[in-house]
Structure 1
Amino acid sequence: MFTINDIKVLYSILFFLWLEYLWELYLEIRQYRICQNTKEVPKELRSVMNNDTFNKARSYTIDKAKYGFVKSGFSIMTTTFIVYSGLLAKIWKYSESKVPWEGEVATSCMWLSILTTFSTIIDLPFSVYHAFILEEKYGFNKQTATFFILDKIKAYVLSQSLMLPICSIMILIVKYGGDYFFVWLWIAVGIILMALLTIYPSYIAPLFDKYTPLPEGELRTDIEKLASQLKFPLGQLYVVEGSKRSAHSNAYFYGLFGAKRIVLFDTLLAKPESGGCENDEVLAVLSHELGHWKHGHIVKNIIIMQTNLFLIFVVFAFLFRYPPIYQAVGFPLKVQPVLVGLLVVMQYIMMPYNALLSFLLTCLSRYFEFQADKFATMLGKAEPLQRALVQLNKDNLGFPVYDLLYSAWHHSHPPLLERLNALKTKSKHD
Structure 2
Amino acid sequence: MMNPFFLVIFIALLIEYAIGVIANLFNLKSLSTKPPPALEGVYQSEEYRKSQEYLRANTRFDFVTSTFSLVVLLSFWFTGGFNYLDQAVRSWGFVPILSGLLYIGILVLGHSLIQLPFSIYRTFAIEERFGFNRTNPRTFALDRIKGLALAALIGAPLLSGILALFEYAGYHAWIYCWIAVTLFSLILQYVAP
The two structures have a TM-score, normalised by structure 2, of 0.88
In 2, distance between residues paired with 1:162 and 1:94?
25
Paired residue for 1:52?
A: 46
> Given the alignment of the two structures, is residue 162 of structure 1 paired with residue 154 of structure 2, yes or no?
yes
Whose Rg is larger? 1
Equivalent position to 2:131, from 136, 139, 142: 139
User: Per-residue displacement from partner, 1:159-179 (whole Å, max 9, x unpaired)?
Assistant: 123222221211211222244
- In structure 2, give the amino acid aligned to 1:68: D
Equivalent of residue 15 in structure 2, options 15, 19, 32: 19
Larger proportion of strand: 1
Does the C-alpha gap of structure 1 residues 147 and 198 become closer, same or farther in structure 2, counting only changes over 3 Å? Answer: same
Aligned sequence identity (%) = 23
User: Could you tell me which residue of structure 2 aligns to residue 86 of structure 1?
Assistant: 80
Check 1:172–1:48 CA distance in 2 against 1; reply closer, same or farther (3 A cut): closer
Q: For residue 115 of structure 1, what is the aligned residue in structure 2?
A: 107
Work out which of the residue numbers 174, 180, 193 in structure 2 matches 1:182.
174
The count of residues paired between Structure 1 and Structure 2 equals 193
**Deviation, structure 1 residue 89:** 0.9
Per-residue displacement from partner, 1:364-397 (whole Å, max 9, x unpaired)? Answer: xxxxxxxxxxxxxxxxxxxxxxxxxxxxxxxxxx
Question: Residue 96 in 1 paired to residue 90 in 2?
Answer: yes
With over 3 angstroms needed to count, the CA separation of the structure-2 counterparts of 1:34 and 1:190, relative to structure 1, is closer
SS in 2 for 1:49: coil
The match for 1:64 is 58
Instruction: Decide which structure has greater helix share.
Output: 2
1:328-347 alignment, distance < 5 Å: none
Matched, 1:192 2:192: no
- Separation in 1, partners of 2:171, 2:45: 64
Unmatched segments (≥5 aa) in structure 1: 202-253, 255-430
Moved over 4 A (4+): none
Distance 1:46 1:166, change over 3 A: closer
RMSD (Å), alpha carbons = 2.0
Which AA in structure 2 matches 1:17? L
State yes or no: 1:152 paired with 2:148: no
CA distance in 2, matches of 1:48, 1:172: 54
Instruction: Report how far residue 193 of structure 1 moved.
Output: 2.8
> 1:330-388 deviations in whole A, cap 9, x for unaligned?
xxxxxxxxxxxxxxxxxxxxxxxxxxxxxxxxxxxxxxxxxxxxxxxxxxxxxxxxxxx
4, 26, 33: which one pairs with 1:30?
26
1:10, 1:84 within 8 Å by CA — same for their partners in 2?
Answer: no
Higher relative contact order (CA 8 A, sep 6+): 1
